[in-house]
Structure 1
Amino acid sequence: MVIVHNVFRLKFGKAREAVSLMKEAVAIQKRLGVDVGQRLLTDLTGPFYTLILELTLPNLAAMETTLANVMGDKEFHANYEKFVPLVESGHREVFNVVE
């Protein structure tokens, strides 16, 4: 099992809008049949205006398949285009679940 953190550093003052759009993105993914654990996390400490989309997947192959299915969807793409201007930077962290 793997846990993926898609970490987004948001522009100052854009957290509410970004969280709203990310909630819509998660709903779109569910309508597309994406059946993975998903959580949205925001900062309590550390860098301000951090939003993390956490995914729990059985393996890396499932991550690749999920990304391909979602990124090819027009509704998701339209949502993502609204989200991108709110983001300063981002990165992805992938963790192997040991226990």
Structure 2
Amino acid sequence: MCYNHEKNNGGNIMYVIRNVFKCKPGKAKAAIDKFKAAHALMSDMNLGERILVDEVASFWTVVVEVTVDDLAAFGQAMQDRGSREDVQSAMSGYMDLVDSGYREVFRVA
């Protein structure tokens, strides 16, 4: 089950997952537009996604952050997301905008 930011989780374990994308020069806005389009299509999954943009360190860095209380549910959500044609269409070509990336998984203490 994904975490709802507006409710206290009652002491259960929570995870913050950050997908960090190093975009090609000048391509961060186009990547953000693709992520926003995909998020709108996936709003029923209640992943509490946020899109963050680096303001001071590495240029053209975009972070997609979600908060979940179950890593298996997150994995299933990503699998479901990848199998949807509407989401595939929204994200089409995003790899042309990105140089590299990585995922961070944090347990909330």
With the length of structure 2 as denominator, give the TM-score of the two structures: 0.83
Q: Distance in 2 between matches of 1:71 and 1:38?
A: 16
The structure with more helix, counted as a fraction of residues = 1
Aligned equivalent of 1:12: 25
Matched ranges for 1:1-99 at <5 A:
1-30=14-43, 33-98=44-109
- Bigger radius of gyration among the two: 2
Q: Distance in 2 between matches of 1:13 and 1:5?
A: 22
Q: Distance in 1 between matches of 2:82 and 2:30?
A: 21
- Secondary structure in 1 matching 2:102: strand
1:94 offset after TM fit, Å?
A: 0.5
Aligned residues: 96
The answer for unaligned runs of 5 or more in structure 2 is 1-13
Q: Considering only aligned residues, what root-mean-square deviation do their CA atoms show, in Å?
A: 1.0
Moved over 6 A (4+): none
